[in-house]
Amino acid sequence: MNMLSNQTFLITGIADKNSLAMYTAKEIINQGGKVICTGLGVSDRHKGLSEKAKMFLTKNFEDFKSAVTKELGETQVEILDVTLDENIESFAQKLSQRGINLNGMLHAIAMDKTIRNKEVKPLIDVTKEEFCDTMDVSAYSLIRLTHYLLKHNVLQSGSSICSLSYIAAEKVTFHPYRNISIAKAALERISVELADELGRSHDIRVNVIRFSPYMGSKAGNATLNIADVETSDKMSPLGNAKPMDLAHEIVHLFRPNLRVTGEIRHVDGGYHITG
């Protein structure tokens, strides 16, 4: 029996075919659901972009669209820049005008310019702009995206929202990406508060999943070293979790009428219970 028949979900954060969000999208489809995938590109709400920026955003969206089509088949893809309220609202309006009802979404968006060549900038040297940019994209975007999807009656009553985090939101780890870790901690706290607000107002569930260190995607490869992944694999009682472990957990949390919300769950092979 397909658990997600006649259900439609918004999937953010796909960067390439190995993105954790891509595995989740595949499993949703396997369970009878539909997905709408968003990527960063040039929207009609972008103003004053340099030619270099336009080229970067255009290529990013083309690569994203190509990966989605190859892995998922013909799937609706849309441009979404969560730093622009105008773009978020126009995106929500477009879905509303097309009569699309969402039964949930995966928030898998994160950005941190303080990480370069797999080296982390000391927190004491992080600028206000770097801090706020990371917080905006990685945490606050959950609030704004949810706001506009509700404003335009796209996100339905009884929906389920899931976000991706990791253990460094709670404790200092051996791969100390401090700026993004603070943003993930904020994302988790935002999720708990939204679980209370939206559960009472719209019967909407909001949960977060902390996943194992993962180098398979473009994002993970940019931040982690093989030694990091090997260390967590040795520390975890069951070894590192696999992308499909995460996909199965998200699909479970997306099940209609599940009475689970405000959870910070771990899909990490037990890494979180070790010292």
Residue 1 is predicted with a pLDDT of: 67
pLDDT surpassing 70 at residue 130: yes
Residue 87 pLDDT exceeds 80? yes
Rounded to an integer, the average pLDDT of 102-130 is 93
Q: What is the mean pLDDT of residues 171-175?
A: 89
Higher model confidence: residue 225 or residue 156? 156
pLDDT in tens, 16-25: 999 999 999 9
| Reported confidence tier of residue 275, pLDDT bands at 50, 70, 90 | confident
CB atoms within 10 A of CB 58: 12
How far apart, in whole angstroms, are the C-alpha atoms of residue 112 and residue 180? 6
- The rounded distance, in Å, linking the Cα atoms of 20 and 25 is 9
| Token digits of residue 77 | 């893809």
Mean pLDDT value of segment 61-80:
95
Mean pLDDT of 163-188: 94
The stretch 245-273 carries a mean pLDDT of 97
Counting residues of the chain whose pLDDT is more than 90, the rounded percentage is: 84
Q: In what order do the strands lie in the sheet with 205-211?
A: 76-79, 34-39, 8-11, 102-107, 155-165, 205-211, 264-267
Please give the share of the chain, as a percent, with pLDDT higher than 70: 100
> Where does residue 64 rank: exposed (0-12), middle (13-18), buried (19+ CB within 10 A)?
buried
What is the distance between the alpha carbons of residues 76 and 27, in angstroms, rounded to a whole number? 16
